[in-house]
Amino acid sequence: MSETDEILDYLNVKSVDGLFSDIPDRLKVSLDLGKPMDEFSTIRAIEDTGRKNKAGNMNFLGNGIYDRFVPPLVDEIIGRNEFLTSYTPYQPEISQGILHSLFEYQSIISDLTEMDIT
């Protein structure tokens, strides 16, 4: 018995559609959502729709500040505590992973900036 079947049995409902049987047909709307999109394509589609407004999404910043896509996962990773502190954990087996990720981060930044790791 699947998890869905267990829930339906617990609620005494025969199918998932039975959960929505109280909603009148006149209120039910069929959504034509189109094909699934990845995160980048979804953001691009929303921005394209937003550009149809007269105000638009104009960027008057210069000096190297240009539109670019930074996945939200980047904020999630750089916001992790192990990157926000200069201290490493006391247990050596835990600190190995953190030290390795810090080394990889330093190496990438060193390559990008063409500077030595200090």
Q: Is 12 left (phi over 0), alpha (psi -120 to 50) or beta?
A: left
Cα distances from 112 to residues 10, 17, 97, 104, 106, in angstroms, run 57, 54, 23, 12, 10
What pTM did the predictor assign? Answer: 0.33
Per-residue pLDDT tens listing for the chain (118 residues): 799 999 999 999 999 989 998 999 899 888 888 899 999 999 999 989 888 877 655 666 666 666 678 888 888 877 877 666 666 667 666 667 777 888 888 898 888 888 887 6
